Structure 1
Amino acid sequence: MNGLEIDYLALLPALIPVAGMVLILVVDLVNPRLRQFPFAVAGLAAIAASVATYPGLGLARGDAQSTLCVALRGGVVPAGTPVPGVEGLPQTCFWQADSLTSSLQLAAGIATLVVVLLAWPRTRARAVTEGTREPIMAILLLTAFAGTMVVAASRDLGTWLIALELATLPVIGLIALSGRRGAIAGAVQLLVTSLVSFALLVLGAALWLVATGSPMLDAGAALAGEGYQTEAPGAALVAWPDASTAILALSVVLLIAGLGFKLSLVPFHAWTPTAYSGATVPVATFLATVSKIAALAALLVVLRAISVLGASGLAAIALLAVLSMTVGNLMALRQNDVVRLLAWSTVAQAGWVVLPLVSVSSLGNRSAGTYLLTYVIATTVAFAVVALMLRERPGSGRTLDAYEGLWHRSPWRAGALALALTSLAGLPPGIIGLVGKVVALRPVVVEGWIWLAVIAAANAVLGVAVYLRWLRPVISTSAAAETVLATTRGPGSRRVILVGLALSSAVLVVVSVQPDVVLRLLG
């Protein structure tokens, strides 16, 4: 093994949140009474980390920003060995960020910024007896954000596992931070789920190591697991089937199951409605957006490694997609609480996110990334509207009835929510949602999974009913809506939340008018 090469510029998206955490800790030691400073630092860190992803966004397909690279010697085929049909790197690199990775990191940065704005504390001074909740919350947010940035670019099992849990465990603390009974129940359920998920992931990682003899999640390791070896540099590859093939297949199944918990895929979804409803709206927003980006990014690392094996499709993912779409939509139709409705919407949308991954190919990976970005943008806007409603009407802004006549009370806010809901439903004017569904279905049709495409189309129709059920009271013109108009002015500052809503809405409008922005970003 030769010396380790480090490009700190490529690592900036992960280093910036860490620097933000250190700054918050130091300032909190000096002056623990500050309430808004930790959130200001967290917001600036999210912005800076998002900007740091820019060099990777313009990379051509097949190119990547690589760092933490070493040159390996040995009999197992490394990433740099010339393999027919494989474009390997000259060295084995622990960090690789291509355009897809950088796009997911950018989406995580913008979503984290919106979450910080939604969670912005009130301006009243902190009493001496109060705890240090604001610094703790800001640090937990940045920790989970940093884990998301790392897991998207990690290419070795150790970093991949640690970063994935780093993106998950702080969210448990965020849920429990409010101390309410529902929050504790949601945090405990997510903790138990995370432990089961981690056990499956560790077992899958161990089997990967056994099958491939390599700690790397790359094409060279996958080929070694299939029995490819070379006796001398430059010699032709020789393959023979053995037990490692079955072990590698079992490893992939366990890794997918472990990540299914984090993606809220059925039947690994039970924690989702409890955790969402128990958490504050900003934390639920983080769960629905940044946490899902981390989970999909981790799954893509695995699937990109095995795509070299030429698998025609993954039936397990097809089954998870169908179950998630159907169960999520049916349960969402029964919800009157908008947060629980969005929780079950997450389950249904997770099915759409993994749907293209039945095609183990670059097309499937990028299609899944495209749909995830459309879902994240629209869901962020919907949660921002909910957060603003709860700030104005604490305790009564979570029911569908609270949105009766919103179009008359605040046309621009109702317009933002309508655009978000139609995007999730795949209806005009939410063009980006329709484009996302078409892009998600393309790899399915290309691979010949016609029955899966038919079921997905049926669920798309069912999803329309889910979101129109919420949209109906928003555009209502009934007499009851006019009565509500005079009673919806609540106390408290809303300016920062309005900024968060305006930012997320602006992004949604741009990608709805020009959906090719997202398509070109992801190649």
Structure 2
Amino acid sequence: MVSLDWLVLAPVLAPAFGVLLVLLADALAPRARGLHLPIALVAVGAGLGALPYAATSAVPARSLCRPGPEARCFYETAPRGLALQFLVLAGALLVLLMLGPGTTHLDRTQRGGPAVTVALVLAATTGAAMVPATRDLPTWLIAIELATLPAIALVALSRGRGAESGALSLLMVSLFSFALLAVGVGLWTLATGDATFGVDSLRVAFADPDRHRVLLLAILFLIAGLGFKLSAVPFHLWTPQAFVVADEPISAFLATVSKAAALGAAIVMLSPLAALNASGDSGATSVRLVIGVLAIASMTLGNLIALRAQDPLRLLAWSTIAQAGWVLAPLAMLTPTAASASVAYLLAYAAGTLAVFAVAAAVHSGTEGYGERSLTAYAGLGRGNPVLAAILALGLLTLGGLPPAVLGVVAKVVALQPVVGAGQWWLVAAAILNIVLGIAVYLRWLLIVVRPAGDAVPQRLRLDPGLAVALALLGAGLIVLSFAPGLVIGLTR
């Protein structure tokens, strides 16, 4: 028997229950196509509303606990986990707003009908919200795939040209990633004799030379599998292929909610290593080096190719790869403080990225698929649509870490603090170089926005109501967080 705290589980159960309600509504009232998005918004909102309950306790909120002398909880949300769940649910809410309300946008951009699209978004949200709270290996692996497989279906159902090939690429990568994770989980269990991410069993395995080698191999398999989910180099090639063929809200979901799930999985897996590292065990040194190298490669390659991209979604895809390096850089230090810095950086990145994707959805409405978008479409946006241009500028400056988007500046500082504190100057030098490259990437786009459109009259865009609400929330959020960036940092501690 295990004890259950339903309110602690609510951030996961609410979107899962939303899937059932959406499918039930579609079965009972197939013509009521406008019901699905409101049901999904209420379900995700209920999950967000339950988060403060778990955050009020001084100790991590726990559920699915086994009583007895070997008592252990299989669901636990520390502040970092709650911050990631907030990002997952808030990101899903904004994506749903970008998709609706109504069915006009969904019918134009997604096959299968609104019920299918909304149910897939909620299913992936359920998996992503579950990942950072799981503590046993089987559930951890299932939650990762639950966050991934519906997202593949969302790409496949896009009406854009090349959607099938993009979804196939994502599917093949996902299958390979799952194989790596499954092998890693098996080797971890073999080395530790434990089906959970326990510190004590890990310490015993590290102390035994034979088990130590098996455990290191398990960790490398797990890092490689999660590298695909994070879009880290050299596991990144699916990212531009999937982003450019999907609808902007779906690409935004892949860039934020899916990344939150991947980071949550990485933190759960690396937390026992962080505990060993804090106790002075040198066994985690090689793991730190591997993650650091992945971080540098992701930053550098992502920024260099983004500098040449002409399709805004391709640019954002390579930007996502570069930002994955920034998420990994502090995580490589293997300390609890470094993990919190990674989560704080991801929160800032997600806010800026969602704002940019929302503006892209407005600018490129009706032009979906490979080769149909261009940065030249943003020429004169500052004159014709100053509000949209301002939101886009705030998003790009946040990603580049430039004022007046103070949130982005603080996020870069927070990400570098653990690296500087650990004396990893080679990683600091690479990060500073990539700050310069990243500024060039985002300023190139911003200069096009403020550039006159020539003789053409700037077009005033008509926004769907849901997209307008999402843009208003994102714009207001970026302004508030630029004045009070500590709100983001405080969520992770």
Instruction: Please classify the TM superposition score into its range, dividing by the shorter chain length.
Output: over 0.9
Alignment correspondent of 1:109: 89
The answer as to 2:127 corresponding to 1:147 is: yes
Q: TM-score, normalised by structure 1?
A: 0.89
Alpha-carbon offset, residue 153 of structure 1 = 0.2
Question: Tell me, what secondary structure is at the counterpart of 1:35?
Answer: coil
TM-score normalised over the length of structure 2: 0.94
Moved over 4 A (4+): 121-127, 392-397
Give 1:470's match in structure 2, choosing from 445, 452, 465.
445
> For 1:499 and 1:221, how far apart are their aligned partners in 2?
49
Q: Equivalent of 1:317, from 287, 291, 294? A: 291
C-alpha displacement at 1:394, in angstroms? 7.2
Corresponding residue for residue 509 of structure 1: 479
Q: Is 1:9 the equivalent of 2:7?
A: yes
**One-letter amino acid of the counterpart of residue 15, structure 1:** L
Deviation, 1:59, is 4.6
Q: Would the aligned equivalents of 1:115 and 1:285 in 2 still touch at CA under 8 Å?
A: yes
Match of 1:249 among 210, 213, 216: 216
Work out which of the residue numbers 377, 384, 405 in structure 1 matches 2:351.
377
Would the alpha carbon gap of residues 389 and 94 (structure 1) be closer, same or farther in structure 2, given more than 3 Å must change?
A: same
Question: 2:105 & 2:180 partners in 1: Cα distance?
Answer: 46
Q: Does 1:453 align with 2:428?
A: yes
1:228-239 paired onto structure 2 within 5 Å: none
Report the count of equivalent residues.
483
Rate the CA distance shift 1:394–1:224 in 2: closer, same or farther, 3 A. Answer: closer
Question: Does residue 1:399 correspond to 2:374, yes or no?
Answer: yes
In 1, Cα distance between equivalents of 2:372 and 2:16: 35
Going from structure 1 to structure 2, the CA distance change for 1:428 and 1:126 (only over 3 Å counts) comes to: closer
- The residue aligned with 2:180 is 200
Residues of 1 paired with 2:60 and 2:410: CA distance?
Answer: 27
8 Å contact kept, 1:386–1:398:
no
CA distance in 1, matches of 2:138, 2:260: 19
Give unmatched runs, 5+ long, in structure 2.
278-283
Judge conservation of contact 2:99–2:106 (CA < 8 Å) in 1.
no
Q: Give the AA of the match of 1:19.
A: F
In structure 2, which of residues 95, 114, 138 is the aligned counterpart of residue 134 of structure 1?
Answer: 114
Q: Is the radius of gyration larger for structure 1 or structure 2?
A: 1
Q: Percent identity?
A: 43
Which of 320, 323, 333 is matched with 2:307 structurally?
333
Q: CA RMSD in A?
A: 2.1
Report if aligned partners of 2:100, 2:465 keep a CA contact under 8 Å in 1.
Answer: no
Q: CA deviation at 1:385?
A: 0.3
Indicate conservation of the 8 Å contact 2:63/2:75, yes or no.
yes
Q: Deviations over 1:464-494 (max 9, x none)?
A: 0000000001112x361x6241xx2467x52
Deviates more, 1:255-264 or 1:245-254: 245-254
- Provide the residue aligned with 1:66 in structure 2: 62
Judge conservation of contact 1:386–1:397 (CA < 8 Å) in 2: no
For residue 166 of structure 2, the aligned residue among 167, 176, 186 is: 186
Q: CA deviation at 1:105?
A: 0.4
CA distance in 2 between partners of 1:71 and 1:247 (Å): 31
The structural deviation recorded for 1:122 is: 4.7
Partner of 2:280: none
> Contact 1:70/1:93 (CA < 8 Å) preserved in 2?
yes
Cα shift at 1:496: 1.4
Task: Say which SS state the counterpart of residue 359 (structure 1) adopts.
Answer: coil
Output the amino acid matched with 1:64.
P
Picking from 318, 326, 334, the partner of 1:360 is 334
Q: C-alpha distance in 2, partners of 1:406/1:96?
A: 46
Inter-CA distance 397–199: structure 2 relative to 1 (3 Å threshold): closer
Give the Cα–Cα distance (whole angstroms) in 2 for the partners of residues 446 and 17 of structure 1. 39
